[in-house]
Amino acid sequence: MQINRMPGRTAAASLMMCFAMILLLSSPCPGREFKKEYKLQVTVGPNFYWGQGAAKFAELVAEKTQGRIHIKPYYGSSLLQGAQLKSAQLVAKGVIDCAIESTINISSVIPECNLFSLPFFINTFENLDQLTRGQTGREIFDAMKKKQLMPLAWGENGFRQITGSAHPIQAPADLTGMKVRVVGSPIFIDIYRHLGADPVNMNWGDAITAFQQGVVDGQENPAGVLLAVQIWQYHRYVTFWNYLADPLIIYWNQRQWEKFPKDIQQAIEEAAREAGRFEKALCRAGLDGDTSVNILKNEFNHTMAHPDPMATLKQHDMTVTTLSKEQLAAFQAATRPVYEKWVPKIGKTLVETAKKDMQQIERQ
Ligand code: X2X
User: Which atom of ligand 1 is nearest the CA belonging to 183?
Assistant: 1
In this chain, the answer to whether the domains covering 38-158+246-300 and 160-244+308-345 adopt an identical fold is yes
User: Taking the domain 160-244+308-345, which CATH number applies?
Assistant: 3.40.190.170
**72-111 pLDDT per residue, tens:** 999 999 999 999 999 999 999 999 999 999 999 999 999 9
User: Which atom, in ligand 1's list, is nearest to the CA of 43?
Assistant: 8
Mean pLDDT of 235-262: 98
Rounded to the nearest angstrom, the distance between the alpha carbon of 103 and the centre of ligand 1 is: 10
Pocket of ligand 1 (CB under 6 A): 43-44, 84, 102, 104-105, 157, 183, 204, 221, 225
Domain boundaries, the chain: 38-158+246-300, 160-244+308-345
Backbone angles phi, psi at 199, to 5 degrees: -70, 140
Query: What is the pLDDT, as a whole number, of residue 327?
Result: 98
pLDDT band at 360 (very low <50, low <70, confident <90, very high): confident
User: Do 53 and 45 meet the contact criterion of CB atoms below 8 Å apart?
Assistant: no
Query: Does residue 340 or residue 19 have the better pLDDT?
Result: 340
Helix, strand or coil for residue 301? coil
What's the pTM value of the predicted model, to 2 decimals?
A: 0.91
- Dist CA 69 CA 56 (whole Å): 14
Q: Sorting pLDDT into bands at 50, 70 and 90, what band is 224?
A: very high
Angstrom distance (rounded) from CA 22 to CA 28: 12
Domain spanning 38-158+246-300: which CATH class is it, in words?
Answer: alpha beta
